[in-house]
Structure 1
Amino acid sequence: IDGGYEILDLTLPAVITADLRLNAPRYVTLPMMMKAKRKPQEVVQAAALCPDLRAHVEIVGYEAPEARKVGRKIANVDELIDKLKNEAKVL
């Protein structure tokens, strides 16, 4: 939130949104970069974060879409309007 932190306790699944200003870049100075190089990095196993790592989506099958029908050329606007009204029935 603006000017502070907000800690929420949510039950999953949940939807979380963020404000546009959240992604403002912060520029790192050289002294801070040097300090960061000396800090140890902690390795966290994925199983410690989420005990259920199995796939939740099962692919049943897939198939290619239908081939597109061949188009046709129309000589003039009157023929186009006639085909839209009578064949496609969109007008």
Structure 2
Amino acid sequence: MTAALLDWPQATFASEVKVEGEKLTVVREIDGGLETISVKLPAVVTADLRLNEPRYATLPNIMKAKKKKIDTVKPADLGVDTASRVHVLSVEDPPQRQAGVKVETVEDLVTKLRESGRI
């Protein structure tokens, strides 16, 4: 949604990212292996778990972090517009599904499908 609002290209599930001039080369894992895509900058990129190794906080650093003061900043102070850009046209319940039918054999299944015009 961010890429659509900004009208920027997107590269999702990146496991490797390389900047090459004004382009970004992203390697991502798909069902059949790896896919390499190239997008122009600026772009929106989402990361896969394999992009970086997470750093784990040590106990002394956790204790230091508890004592640090957290500054509160309002979006307006940063010049960010928080007005909603999504307009809900309507909300409807999905149609009720009809009850299914259990069949004993494959022949019964084929007969039912032929009767309903599916095959």
Coordinate RMSD, CA, aligned: 3.0
SS at match of 1:21: coil
Aligned to 1:42: 71
- Which segments of structure 1 move beyond 4 Å, counting only runs of 4 or more? none
- Of structures 1 and 2, the larger Rg is shown by 1
Identical-pair percentage: 42
Does residue 57 of the first structure (1) align with residue 86 of the second (2)?
Answer: yes
Does residue 77 of the first structure (1) align with residue 94 of the second (2)?
Answer: no
Q: 5+ residue gaps in structure 2?
A: 1-15, 18-40
Aligned to 1:5: none
Aligned equivalents of 1:33, 1:74: Cα separation in 2: 61
Q: Where is the strand percentage greater, Structure 1 or Structure 2?
A: 2
What TM-score comes out, normalization by structure 2 length?
0.48
Q: Where is the helix percentage greater, Structure 1 or Structure 2?
A: 1
SS at match of 2:65: helix
SS at match of 2:73: coil
Instruction: State whether residues 103 and 109 of structure 2, in contact with CA within 8 Å, keep that contact through their aligned partners in structure 1.
Output: yes
Counterpart amino acid of 2:45? I
Instruction: Kindly tell me the number of residue pairs found equivalent between the two proteins.
Output: 81
- What is the aligned counterpart of 1:27 among 51, 56, 62? 56
Aligned equivalents of 2:105, 2:45: Cα separation in 1: 53
Q: 5+ residue gaps in structure 1?
A: 3-8
CA gap of 1:65–1:33, structure 2 versus 1, over 3 A, is: closer
